[in-house]
Amino acid sequence: GAVVSQHPSRVICKSGTSVKIECRSLDFQATTMFWYRQFPKQSLMLMATSNEGSKATYEQGVEKDKFLINHASLTLSTLTVTSAHPEDSSFYICSARPDRDPQYFGPGTRLTVL
């Protein structure tokens, strides 16, 4: 299957700082990438859809100024959590879609905000 990487895999930061998470499709081009978050023992909740070269589409209830998404190339999307607070601590997972389904997921990033 197609490979998607995420970096970093784990990050701990102080409250008020910003954190950038990278998502890369390694062996295919992805016009569309997705960002999810997962709380412990809960489902994956879609945060936003990231389209190369255009603005991301955010799901209801997700603050676009809080979670900045950039999809600068067909293989890279970044999620920046701005002014992070403890309630932003979560497992963030990206996925990338080749020219057809299914989506392939990255390994996830564990964010802990102190």
Segment near another protein (CB under 8 A), from 11-19, 43-51, 64-72, 82-90?
43-51
The C-alpha atoms of residue 9 and residue 5 are separated, in whole angstroms, by 9
CB of 16 to another protein, least distance (A): 26
Is the CB of 33 or the CB of 84 nearer to another protein? 33
In the chain, the DSSP E strands lie at 4-7, 10-13, 19-25, 32-38, 44-51, 57-58, 67-73, 76-81, 90-97, 104-105, 109-113
Amino acid at 60: Q
Told to check if 70 binds another protein by CB under 8 A, we report: no
Contact set with another protein (CB under 8 A): 1, 4, 6, 32, 34, 42-46, 49, 57, 91, 93, 95, 97, 101-108, 110
